[in-house]
């Protein structure tokens, strides 16, 4: 829905086997991968709070950013729900930047694409809404829309994009925390 939400920030694929998924992308010459072995938190999923953890990797190919996720736990999450419908994995969501989640959801509804809120991620200390995941109303096997704010991680994504543009094929799997912390520190110092 780029005509309404703008260009995607990234597309996310959820797979049951993290290493196999990275190998699939690497076979296409895409890299390097920036990996977080355990990302987690507490999210409001379909109206109930549930903890979750997952393995996550980001990788660029040109200006296209891909996210690869494998949930670490058996339980209740948007990722496990997806794998229940699609055991082999595949496209889970398309992420878009948003300045106003409610306004963008209203614009989608006005365009004939009403959305249901599925996941509401908030900062536990402040209640600030960080991101949401929505699904098209009535879709049996939906591709989710992720709406997220610009800001905190922009410098990290720019650093990953630059590293991919300059990649010579070496060191294809990298610890994302190192680049994330350096980018966050540089952003704070600026």
Contacts of 152 (CB under 8 A, 6+ apart): 184
Query: What pLDDT is attached to residue 42?
Result: 67
pLDDT given for residue 3 in this prediction: 86
CB 147 within 8 A of CB 159: no
The tens-digit pLDDT sequence of the chain (190 residues) is 678 999 999 999 999 999 999 999 899 889 999 999 887 776 788 888 877 789 999 999 999 999 999 998 777 888 999 999 999 999 999 999 999 999 999 999 999 999 999 999 887 788 888 899 999 999 999 999 999 988 777 888 999 999 999 999 999 999 998 888 887 777 655 5
Gap between the Cα atoms of 52 and 41, Å rounded: 6
Pairing relationship of beta strands 90-97 and 10-14 according to DSSP bridges? antiparallel
Instruction: Give the residue extent of every domain in the chain.
Output: 2-189
pLDDT, position 55: 94
pTM: 0.90
- Cα atoms in the 13 Å half-sphere on the side-chain side of 139: 16
**Whole-number pLDDT of residue 187:** 62
Q: Which CATH architecture has domain 2-189?
A: Roll (3.10)
Number of H helices, E strands in the chain: 6, 9
């Amino acid at each position: 829905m780029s005509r309404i939400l703008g260009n995607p920030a990234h597309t996310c694929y959820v797979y049951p086997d993290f290493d196999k998924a990275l190998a699939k992308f690497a076979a296409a010459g895409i890299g390097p991968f920036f990996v977080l072995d355990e990302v987690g938190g507490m999210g409001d999923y379909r109206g109930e709070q549930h903890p979750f953890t997952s393995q996550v990797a980001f990788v660029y190919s040109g200006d296209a950013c891909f996210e690869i996720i494998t949930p670490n736990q058996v339980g209740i999450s948007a990722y496990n729900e997806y794998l229940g419908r699609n055991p082999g994995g595949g496209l889970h969501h398309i992420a878009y930047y948003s300045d106003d989640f409610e306004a963008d959801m209203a614009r989608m509804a006005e365009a004939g694409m009403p959305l249901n809120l599925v996941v509401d991620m908030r900062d536990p200390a402040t209640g600030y809404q960080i991101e949401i995941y929505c699904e098209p109303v009535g879709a049996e096997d939906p591709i989710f829309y992720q709406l997220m704010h610009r800001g905190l991680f922009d410098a990290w994504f720019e650093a990953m994009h630059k590293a991919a543009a300059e990649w010579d094929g070496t060191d294809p799997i990298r610890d994302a925390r190192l680049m994330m912390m350096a980018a966050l520190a540089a952003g704070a110092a600026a």
